[in-house]
């Protein structure tokens, strides 16, 4: 039974690969009985691939540009949707009857195998627009037919937010109204770090969270970590953003993932993210940001982001949405 069901994630570069490693390790730690699959882009370093190989049952390299099929044609038409097409590739995993997709910027806090009792397409409401689902975690049934339809759909119609969440919400457009069992509970099963912006509710319900989704532009791997003090640092990170979840992510990375990375890289320098090793800390891989992105934005920037579907869920603008969302769920 479990052999034909899988958790699936996606890493298009070495930074997201670290996220996938931590996610995969967290699923293993909570003793999932499902298979673990990671889709990777062609640019992920061999060293990262070998570490992914040790955590996941299957590592699938997806290069839409080389595919020569409908995906390639779709990409020629909509080059802006490159990463989206890579993610849609999860529908081709037809060796599995059912899968749960999880973004590489999520982390599980308990065993969540019960998600496989749900049907396609189950997902949690998006905190910014609750009538849309968040495509960070969703239940789906691999199918070549659905895959082809998704590709045609997105090349014809594009994506209203420029990414996979827009495509998937337009395609599975009855999600909001059709079947409430396809709504994963927001608080319990997809509690994002955004909850921190509504602290009273978080204190009340946060301990029941099963999945943390590190929404927003700044990802856990963009910070740095001091294993000696257990402190997570980021240049523009206000002190209250030192969340327990972020520390949890880094502890898992430093204890379970980093040793394997060090082995894989050997003498080759790489971006560890940890501050104790100054010789390595100064090095960055090609995809690492040279300046840490600022958390504080002007309202102009925030508005632009919001309209581009990249709301800063950790910022001020999220409070009212989340409060409304929580109220509606917790009645």
Question: Which listed residue (156, 178, 276, 307) binds ligand NAG by CB under 6 A?
Answer: 156
Instruction: Write down the least CB distance from residue 119 to ligand NAG, Å.
Output: 11
Q: How far is the CB of 86 from ligand NAG (least distance, A)?
A: 16
Q: Which is nearer to ligand NAG, 129 or 153 (CB)?
A: 153
- Under the binding rule (CB under 6 A), the answer on residue 329 touching ligand NAG is no
For the CB of residue 122, give the shortest distance to ligand NAG in the complex, in Å. Answer: 8
Residues 208-227 that bind ligand NAG (CB under 6 A): 208
Considering beta carbons, is residue 4 or 208 the nearer one to ligand NAG? 208
Of 71-110, binders to ligand NAG (CB under 6 A) are: 94
> 61: Cβ–Cβ under 8 A, 6 or more apart, which residues?
40, 41, 42, 44
Question: From the DSSP assignment, how many helices (H) and strands (E) are in the chain?
Answer: 13, 11
Tokens encoding 234? 């980021």
Residue from the set 188, 248, 262, 297 that interacts with ligand NAG by CB under 6 A: 188
Q: Which of these segments, 38-46, 148-156, 237-245, 257-265, binds ligand NAG (CB under 6 A)?
A: 148-156
Q: Minimum Å distance from CB 37 to ligand NAG?
A: 15
Q: Quick check: 204 binds ligand NAG (CB under 6 A)?
A: no
Residues 6+ apart with CB under 8 A from 122: 115, 138, 139, 181, 182, 183, 184
Q: Is the preceding omega at residue 125 within 30 degrees of 0, hence cis?
A: no
Closest separation in Å from C-beta 184 to ligand NAG: 6
Q: At what angle do helices 46-55 and 258-265 cross, to 10 degrees?
A: 140
- By the 10 Å C-beta count (0-12 exposed, 13-18 middle, 19+ buried), 240 is classed as exposed
323-329-331 Cα angle (round to 5): 95
Nearer to ligand NAG, 89 or 271 (CB): 89
Burial class of 314 by CB neighbour count within 10 A (0 to 12, 13 to 18, 19+): buried
| Secondary structure class of 37 (helix, strand, coil) | strand
Helix (H/G/I), strand (E/B), else coil: 132: strand
Which tokens hold the place of 143?
């199918």
**Segment contacting ligand NAG by CB under 6 A, of 96-104, 111-119, 264-272, 323-331:** 111-119
Min dist CB 234 to ligand NAG, Å, is 31
Contacting ligand NAG (CB under 6 A), which of 33, 144, 255, 296?
A: 144
**CA separation for the pair 76, 111 (Å, rounded):** 40
Stretch that binds ligand NAG, among 22-30, 31-39, 151-159, 296-304 (CB under 6 A): 151-159
Considering beta carbons, is residue 185 or 259 the nearer one to ligand NAG? 185
Minimum CB separation from ligand NAG for residue 144, in Å? 4
- Give the separation between CA 25 and CA 56, rounded to whole angstroms: 9
- Closest to 208 (Cα-Cα) out of 186, 179, 182: 186
Question: Contact between 192 and ligand NAG (CB under 6 A)?
Answer: no
| Residue of 29, 33, 152, 328 interacting with ligand NAG (CB under 6 A) | 152
Q: Rounded to an integer, what distance in angstroms lies between the CA atom of residue 124 and that of residue 185?
A: 6
Binding residues for ligand NAG (CB under 6 A): 94, 114-115, 118, 144, 152-153, 156-157, 184-185, 188-189, 208
């Amino acid at each position: 039974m479990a052999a034909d069901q899988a958790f699936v994630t996606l890493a298009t570069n070495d930074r997201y690969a670290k996220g996938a490693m931590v996610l995969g390790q967290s699923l293993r730690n909570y003793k999932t009985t499902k298979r673990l699959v990671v889709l990777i882009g062609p640019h992920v370093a061999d060293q990262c691939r070998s570490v992914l190989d040790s955590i996941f049952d299957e590592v699938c390299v997806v290069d839409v540009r080389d595919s020569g099929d409908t995906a390639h044609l779709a990409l020629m038409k909509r080059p802006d949707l490159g990463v989206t097409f890579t993610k849609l590739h999860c529908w081709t995993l037809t060796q599995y009857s059912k899968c749960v997709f999880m973004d590489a910027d999520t982390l599980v806090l308990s065993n969540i195998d019960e998600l496989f009792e749900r049907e396609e397409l189950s997902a949690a409401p998006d905190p910014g627009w609750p009538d849309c689902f968040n495509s960070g975690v969703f239940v789906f049934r691999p199918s070549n037919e659905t895959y082809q339809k998704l590709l045609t759909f997105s090349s014809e119609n594009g994506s209203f937010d420029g990414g996979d969440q827009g495509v998937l919400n337009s395609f599975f457009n009855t999600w909001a109204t059709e079947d409430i069992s396809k709504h994963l509970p927001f608080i319990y099963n997809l509690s994002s770090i955004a909850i921190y912006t509504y602290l009273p509710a978080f204190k009340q319900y946060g301990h029941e969270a099963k999945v943390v989704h590190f929404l927003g532009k700044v990802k856990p791997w963009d910070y740095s970590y001091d294993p000696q003090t257990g402190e997570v640092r980021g240049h523009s990170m206000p002190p209250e953003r030192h969340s327990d979840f972020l520390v949890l992510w880094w502890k898992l990375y430093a204890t379970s993932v980093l040793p394997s990375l060090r082995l894989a890289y050997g003498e080759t320098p790489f971006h560890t993210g940890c501050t104790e090793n100054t010789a390595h800390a100064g090095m960055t891989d090609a995809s690492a940001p040279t300046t840490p992105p600022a958390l504080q934005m002007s309202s102009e920037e925030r508005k632009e982001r919001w309209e581009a579907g990249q709301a800063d869920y950790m910022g001020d603008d999220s409070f009212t949405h989340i409060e409304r969302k929580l109220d509606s769920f917790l009645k």
